Amino acid sequence: MDIPRLIDPYGREHHYLRISVTDRCNLRCVYCMPEEGMEFEPSDKILTYGEIAEVVRVSAGMGIRKIRLTGGEPLVRKNLEQLIAMIAGIPGIEDIALTTNGMFLAPKAQLLKDAGLTRVNISMDSLQPDRFKAITRGGELRKVLEGIEACAKADLSPIKLNVVLMKGLNEDEIADFIRLTRDHELHVRFIEYMPIGHNDAAWKSLYLPLSRVMEVCSEQQWKVEPVAAIPGTGPSENYRIDGALGSFGLIHPVSSHFCQTCNRLRLTADGYIKPCLAWTEQFHIRRVIGDDEAMRRMLMDALRTKPEHHEMSHFLKADATVSHTPTARRMSQIGG
């Protein structure tokens, strides 16, 4: 029997599965979750590690090579290293990355590496402790910095720092983040604030197009050169200032989408495949775990609904009209 490849109607081949292992988090970043009133799935609605590994096994047979574990905060889930070891043993999987807020990373970095983790992305939206605490509503920058050091020691590299830029909140730190890449082998990835689950006036007022990053480089009179792809860079456009050890990248889904190269599917913690981050379509893959043929059919059905591109930029207009229903899930309920 021929096993289908994960190719969608626009010819995009999918190699990358982002897996949210929990919708819970120890923080409440302003752009991701409301401060109060967030409702979480009961634990029996959350996929077990065995179920996640089954989805990975079947999708690896259809072409998935790269896995990213995310959340919510993936490190609030107990013994994440067990899941990493299970995934690392699945034929076809070449790369297992983690996106984390870094608060629980320092004591676990080596354990995660030993289990088979290849790389980490650490979210860090400010280099100023008080501001970091305010944006994350409670995060401690010191712990994240310790996590970065522990990852460097454990050779979990390249280490990427995810920075969501927001107007008036942290845009004045663009130069500081880029300076950090001069003396450290760190890869900063500036990300545009996306209207996921809340495309409202508050989002509009904080949204900052990433063209601002290049303006800052000109103001600083930095010589900026493009950098060839760094392993696992995905949609990021990468640059380096003259002589820097690290690099910085721009991920601009709102001002200029990169859907034509999208190669990713998402598995939510409550067991749905989401073909597109922005739209509401989702497929309850948990229902078909144990029936490989049905799972493959569902994955192909999901791909058939994947749009050519999302329409996040439409929400910047006064009369936002879009062609699909936007997802009601917050980023923490998808995995970013």
Binding site for ligand SAM (CB under 6 A): 25, 31-32, 70-71, 73, 99-101, 123, 162, 164, 191, 193-194, 196, 331-332, 335-336
SS3 content of the chain, % helix, strand, coil (to 5): 35, 20, 50
Q: Residue 336 class from Cβ within 10 Å (0-12 exposed, 13-18 middle, 19+ buried)?
A: buried
Give the whole-angstrom CA distance, residue 205 versus residue 319. Answer: 16
Residue 332 in contact with ligand SF4, rule: CB under 6 A = yes
Question: Please, which residues have CB within 8 angstroms of residue 308's CB and are 6 or more apart in sequence?
Answer: 10, 259, 260
x/- letters, 178..207, toward ligand SF4 (CB under 6 A): ------------------------------
Partner whose footprint covers residue 162, from ligand SAM, ligand SF4, none (CB < 5 to 8 Å by kind): ligand SAM
Do 263 and 309 meet the contact criterion of CB atoms below 8 Å apart?
no
Closest distance between ligand SF4 and the C-beta of residue 103, in Å? 8
Closest distance between ligand SF4 and the C-beta of residue 7, in Å? 31
Q: Which is nearer to ligand SF4, 136 or 199 (CB)?
A: 136
Residues in the chain: 336
> Interface with ligand SF4 by CB under 6 A: which range of 8-16, 22-30, 40-48, 238-246?
22-30
Do 190 and 165 meet the contact criterion of CB atoms below 8 Å apart?
yes
SS3 (DSSP) at 317: coil
Question: Please, which residues have CB within 8 angstroms of residue 48's CB and are 6 or more apart in sequence?
Answer: none
- Reported as half-sphere exposure (CB side, CA atoms, 13 A), residue 312 has a value of 23
Closest distance between ligand SAM and the C-beta of residue 296, in Å? 28
Tell the residue number behind the tokens 């749009």, with chain if given. 307
SS3 (DSSP) at 84: helix
Partner whose footprint covers residue 59, from ligand SAM, ligand SF4, none (CB < 5 to 8 Å by kind): none
Do 207 and 267 meet the contact criterion of CB atoms below 8 Å apart?
no
Give the whole-angstrom CA distance, residue 274 versus residue 109. Answer: 29
Closest distance between ligand SAM and the C-beta of residue 161, in Å? 9
Scan residues 90-129 and list those touching ligand SF4 (CB under 6 A): 101, 123
Partner whose footprint covers residue 196, from ligand SF4, ligand SAM, none (CB < 5 to 8 Å by kind): ligand SAM
Partner whose footprint covers residue 28, from ligand SF4, ligand SAM, none (CB < 5 to 8 Å by kind): ligand SF4
Q: Which of 17, 19, 21, 33 binds ligand SF4 (CB under 6 A)?
A: 33
Residue 29 in contact with ligand SF4, rule: CB under 6 A = yes
x/- letters, 52..91, toward ligand SF4 (CB under 6 A): -------------------xxx------------------
Q: Which is nearer to ligand SAM, 49 or 190 (CB)?
A: 190
Closest distance between ligand SF4 and the C-beta of residue 55, in Å? 21
Closest distance between ligand SAM and the C-beta of residue 287, in Å? 25
Beta strand spans in the chain (E) = 16-20, 66-70, 95-100, 119-123, 159-165, 186-192, 224-226, 237-241, 247-251, 264-267, 272-274, 283-284
Which positions lie near ligand SF4, rule CB under 6 A?
Answer: 25, 27-29, 32-33, 71-73, 101, 123, 136, 331-332
